[in-house]
Each structure stands twice: as C-alpha cells, then as structure tokens.
C-alpha cells in the first residue's frame, strides 16, 4: 500500500501578515519535488493572504485549530465553514500545545475531527505522550487512549482519509527528536489501534512524525516504513530548511 508522503509546516503563533506572505511566496517560488504532498498552516490572521499566494500551487493550506460548531455565540472561535471558505484543505486538531495550555481534551479533539470531515477538511490529529508518561513507561497506554478517542465515530472512509501525527511532547521545540526506530515503533502501534477499528482503512491512513524534525535528521524518519511524513514546527519558518525536509521525503518516494 503506497501512501503518498505528506509534509506539513505548522507556523504556530509566528508571522505577521507580511511575513507570512513572504514565507509562502518563498515556498511556492521554489522547485517543489514530486511525489510528496505539502501543506502549510499559518496563523488564522494570515490564512486569507496565504491562500491567495498558494492558489494554483501544489502547496495546500491548513489551519492550526478550529471549533466544531458551524456558527454562533462562541466569541474568539473559528468554525470549519470559515476555514473551508478560505480554501483550507487541512486543519490541525489536538496539538499538544492546545492540550497543554488551552484545555483541549480527547473528547473535544474527537468532536473537532468529526466536524472537520463534515466540512470536507482533512483533520491532522496530533497525539503524543508527555515526558513523565514516557519515563513511567506509559507511552503505549496514552497513545492508544488518544487514538481510540480521536477516531471514535469515524467511518471507514473517514479513517482512510484521516491524517495522524505522532508528536511526543518532549520532542516538540526542544531540539531533542525521537529516534527513527522509536517513532516508527509508536507509529506502528498507532496503525494497529486503527486496524482494530477498520483493518482495510488503516492501511491508507497517513501517520506523520513531528517533534524537532530538521533538514539534518529528516533521513532518520523518512527511511522508516511506518512514517508517512512530517509535521514541522520551527524548521518550517525558513523556506530553505522546509524545502530540504520535503526533499528528504521525496527521496524516499523515488527510492
């Protein structure tokens, strides 16, 4: 089952509109390698401008979060309809920074993932264990719980189109990435959890690794059979570094 690699840049709370436009333009100006799907997730404030720059390019647009309701009295929230209206194709759901700082729960992640599909957005659902959970050898338990919760209620077709990102919390923004074999093992476990849900669909689900991925360590992950791409934070803010990561995955496709 050949899954097309996906590399996603998560710009987090970085970039003014002008900076976001410049970064998006630098990416689209570059020669993008074939065989890899790409997306960038700018902050909400820059989505509309970046959408215009990406138009007609191979780079997809994603948001970093959303609420599950369509519209209403939810001050400060952004709905899936609004994101689809701007041309978003993806939305990150349940990033550990949202779980940690903004009260995101397994239950809200599941509601958001289901709502994304209703509005033809592909959710990129993040899961990952914290350092103390890892030290207590709880990784498998935590990941299984998060994946089961996030996928509850999804149809087989939705499961096949879902994107998951394994992002160990201790590896995000720390410069301390997981090793390739370590990430491959947990991602294999995630696929086993999905297979219990629907075995055929689980073979299509793309599962990315995220956490301190750089141009220097991308080969470590792109060589692993279970890892279908990368969710990149820091290194995605530099077009050159982001492109080097993309090339790392393109090489795998050609190999």
* Binding residues for ligand PGA (CB under 6 A): 10, 167, 172-173, 210-213, 231-235
How far apart CA 53 and CA 50 sit, in angstroms, is: 5
Query: How far apart are CB 210 and ligand PGA at their closest, in Å?
Result: 4
Q: Which residue number, 184 or 217, has a Cβ lying nearer to ligand PGA? A: 217
Catalytic residue among 95, 129, 220, 226: 95
> Which three-class secondary structure string do you get for the chain?
CCCCCEEEEECCCCCCHHHHHHHHHHHHHCCCCCCCEEEEECCHHHHHHHHHHHCCCCEEEEECCCCCCCCCCCCCCCCHHHHHHCCCCEEEECCHHHHHHCCCCHHHHHHHHHHHHHCCCEEEEEECCCHHHHHCCCHHHHHHHHHHHHHCCCCHHHHHHCEEEECCHHHCCCCCCCCHHHHHHHHHHHHHHHHHHCHHHHCCCEEEEECCCCCCCHHHHHCCCCCCEEEECHHHHCHHHHHHHHHHHHHHHHC
Which residues are bridge partners to 164 per DSSP?
A: 125, 207
Catalytic residue among 37, 97, 104, 167: 167
Closest residue by beta carbon to ligand PGA: 233
Query: How far apart are CB 34 and ligand PGA at their closest, in Å?
Result: 24
Known catalytic membership, residue 119: no
Query: How far apart are CB 123 and ligand PGA at their closest, in Å?
Result: 14
Q: Which residue number, 121 or 231, has a Cβ lying nearer to ligand PGA? A: 231
Known catalytic membership, residue 197: no
Q: Which residue number, 155 or 174, has a Cβ lying nearer to ligand PGA? A: 174
Q: Which residue number, 202 or 236, has a Cβ lying nearer to ligand PGA? A: 236
Query: How far apart are CB 70 and ligand PGA at their closest, in Å?
Result: 27
Q: Which residue number, 127 or 235, has a Cβ lying nearer to ligand PGA? A: 235
Query: How far apart are CB 182 and ligand PGA at their closest, in Å?
Result: 15
Active site residues: 95, 167
């Amino acid at each position: 089952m050949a899954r097309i690699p996906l590399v996603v840049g998560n710009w987090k709370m970085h970039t003014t509109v002008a900076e976001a436009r410049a970064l998006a333009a630098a990416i689209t100006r570059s020669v993008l390698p074939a065989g890899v799907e790409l997306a960038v997730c700018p902050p909400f404030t820059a989505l509309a401008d970046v959408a215009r720059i990406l138009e007609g390019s191979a780079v997809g647009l994603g948001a970093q979060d959303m609420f599950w309701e369509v519209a209403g009295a939810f001050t400060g929230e952004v709905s899936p309809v609004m994101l689809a209206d701007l041309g978003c194709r993806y939305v990150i759901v349940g990033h550990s920074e949202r779980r940690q700082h903004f009260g995101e729960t397994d239950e809200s992640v599941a509601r958001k993932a289901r709502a994304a599909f209703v509005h033809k957005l592909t959710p990129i659902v993040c899961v990952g264990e914290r350092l103390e959970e890892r030290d207590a050898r709880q990784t498998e338990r935590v990941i299984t719980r998060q994946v089961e919760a996030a996928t509850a209620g999804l149809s087989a077709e939705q499961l096949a189109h879902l994107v998951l990102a394994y992002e160990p919390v201790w590896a995000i923004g720390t410069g301390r990435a997981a090793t390739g074999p370590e990430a491959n093992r947990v991602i294999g476990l995630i696929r086993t959890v999905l297979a219990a849900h629907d075995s055929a669909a689980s073979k299509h689900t793309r599962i990315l690794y995220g956490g301190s991925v750089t141009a220097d360590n991308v080969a470590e992950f792109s060589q692993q059979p279970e890892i279908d791409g990368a969710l990149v934070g820091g290194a995605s803010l530099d077009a050159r570094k982001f492109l080097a990561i993309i090339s790392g995955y393109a090489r795998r496709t050609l190999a």
